[in-house]
Structure 1
Amino acid sequence: MVRILSIFLASILVAFAYNAFLLPHKVLSSGISGIAMMIGLLTPVNTGIVNLALNLPLLIIGFYKLGKRFMFYTIFSVAVTSVALLYIPIRPLVTDPILSSVFGGVLVGVGTGFIFRAEGSGGGFDIIAFLLTRKKEFPLGTLMFGLNAAVLLFAGFLFTWDAALYTLLSIYVTGKIIDAIHTIHVKLTLMIITSKGEEVKNRLLSNLVRGITVVDGEGAFTKEKRKVLFMIISRYELVTVKRLIKETDPHAFVNIMETVEVMGYFRRNDSN
């Protein structure tokens, strides 16, 4: 229920950013949303209807190829955003297009970031990205850059190059905000030194789906025997892990390091 409410509010926030900051100044978003906004500006058709129509084929494909829970949250997000675009008036809150680009990008980033954190997506090219990430050899970054570049080019030719540059600014800000909120891709390596190795290990294994490597250790000065536990977690799990360790062994020494890369199997989430 919390995730549904989070996606609902975040989707409304995205729609509000479109109609109150971006669309009034012909500033576009990236991907399918940007194309929908472009069509909405050039035709009498509401952006919400166009957004839903363009997303529909991708939603159908994603439903069969991706996890059902993920697609349920994604469909819900697209539906809420599209309906909100119909009812929120397109009325600028500020007259400065630079301010609109920045704050609109911030709001879109915040909304999209929380949708990602709730294990959903905003649809569109996000679905394509999730599908293509299963093929490691596919140049996903090149594809996403090309799609966004196409939106920028169309914005420049159809409107003005000022609008294209404002769009670039908005997309950049949105990306930075999403990266700050959606940090599941950040991995952490924990080295836990404890005199209660078996208890800490069992407590962690019973609450997390993570592997743990246990080695014997000895204090250089005290000569006391310790267990050293190594594990890799996502940043989301850090608060839980710290609590579990502290409850089991308040005197445990824990070294937390950000991990650059993980080779081999690492369970990303429990959504599928």
Structure 2
Amino acid sequence: MNNKKSVVFDYGMIVVGTAITAIGINSFYVPAKISDGGVSGIGIILLYVLHIPLWVTLTVLNVPLLWLSKKLWGNRVGLRTVFGTFMLSLMVGIMHFGAVTHNILLATVYGGLLSGVGLGLVFRGRGTTGGSDVIARLLIRFLPLTMGQGMLAVDFFVIAGFGVIFNPTLAMYSLIALFISSRAIDVVQEGVSYARAFTIVSRDPDTIAARVLATMDRGVTRIGAYGEYTKEPREILYVVVTRGEVSTLKELVYSIDPQAFVVVATVHEVVGEGFRKPPVES
């Protein structure tokens, strides 16, 4: 039963995500003649140059790309990928609300946010919306590039096309949209950086660990280590807290050991006791 609920939830995320992405494309990107790259960017260029509806381009380009992926690399094209691909084409075809703003900067910012949030939700639902990654795979097959560099090259050439066909200013705005969209995808997938991880090296780890447990009600993990300079065994304390508890933990540590060595790192997502519950396996 939980498995069925999880599958329904994933497909629901893909539907909502493609709808949000379509609004970002139709209401912000298309009127402003900008894009964050990919197949949708090619579609916007063809919309203005050849007057081909965007949803048609998305479908016509993505279907052979999905087929090519399976043919060349034997990849199993999952149902979520096929569903996400066609849902984006459908949503782009029906979600028309007109231009929300004629300010190109606002269109860049909000188009990038909506596109990124929408795609992030699709990825959280374990789906994808197209085959620009297949184009990247073709590039790295013939050129000495990594997958990440291949994806960047695809987006770069699409955005460069905006500069050549329209004007360089629109290409520069498109680069901003790409950055905003990428960051929004990361936030949706990884979460906002609401937690901090402390790595603490101290001469009095017992007292610090006991005080953290007693006064902050946070778990403490001890990690065995060896000091190369002192040639002595040491214990490292690892503690994860919320942003609001950072100052409290710092004060606690230095009140016990003013010479403690402390490293504070940003944590995007924490799953477990005291934080978010673990997801149900599907």
TM-score by length of 1: 0.64
In structure 2, the partner of 1:89 is 96
CA distance in structure 1 between the partners assigned to 2:198 and 2:63 by the alignment:
43
Which of these residues, 24, 35, 46, is aligned with residue 31 of structure 2? 24
Instruction: State the match for 2:211 in structure 1.
Output: none
> 1:44 offset after TM fit, Å?
2.2
- Contact 2:35–2:174 (8 Å) recurs in 1: yes
Shift of 1:32: 1.4
Q: Which amino acid aligns with 2:88?
A: T
Corresponding position of 1:147? 154
Instruction: Determine if the alignment matches structure 1 residue 100 to structure 2 residue 132.
Output: no
Q: Which amino acid aligns with 1:145?
A: L
> CA offset at residue 51 of structure 1?
0.6
Alignment of 1:1-272 (within 5 A): 1-63=8-70, 65-68=74-77, 71-89=78-96, 91-127=98-134, 138-183=145-190, 238-240=270-272
Shift of 1:92: 0.8
Structure 2 stretches lacking a partner, 5+ long: 1-7, 200-222, 225-236, 238-266
Native 8 Å contact 1:109 1:174 kept in 2: yes
User: Which structure 1 segments of 5+ residues have no match?
Assistant: 192-214, 217-227, 229-233, 246-269
Indicate if the aligned counterparts of 2:69 and 2:75 stay in contact, CA closer than 8 A. Answer: yes
Query: CA distance change for structure 1 residues 244 and 129 in 2, over 3 Å: closer, same or farther?
Result: same
Q: Residues 152 and 190 from structure 1, CA distance in 2 versus in 1: closer, same or farther, beyond 3 angstroms?
A: same
Whole-Å separation in 1 of the counterparts to 2:82 and 2:151: 21
Residues 197-241 of structure 1, C-alpha deviations (whole Å, 9 max, x = no match): xxxxxxxxxxxxxxxxxx99xxxxxxxxxxx9xxxxx976x4246
- How many residue pairs align between the two structures? 207
Q: CA shift at 1:59, angstroms?
A: 1.6
Which letter does structure 2 place at the counterpart of 1:31? G
RMSD: 3.8
**Higher alpha-carbon Rg:** 2
Match of 1:150, as an amino acid?
F
Cα distance in 2 for residues equivalent to 1:190 and 1:2: 35
Q: CA deviation at 1:166?
A: 1.3
Q: Which residue type is aligned with residue 58 of structure 1? A: L
- Percent identical across equivalent pairs? 25
Distance 1:241 1:121, change over 3 A: farther
8 A contact 2:28–2:100 mirrored in 1: yes
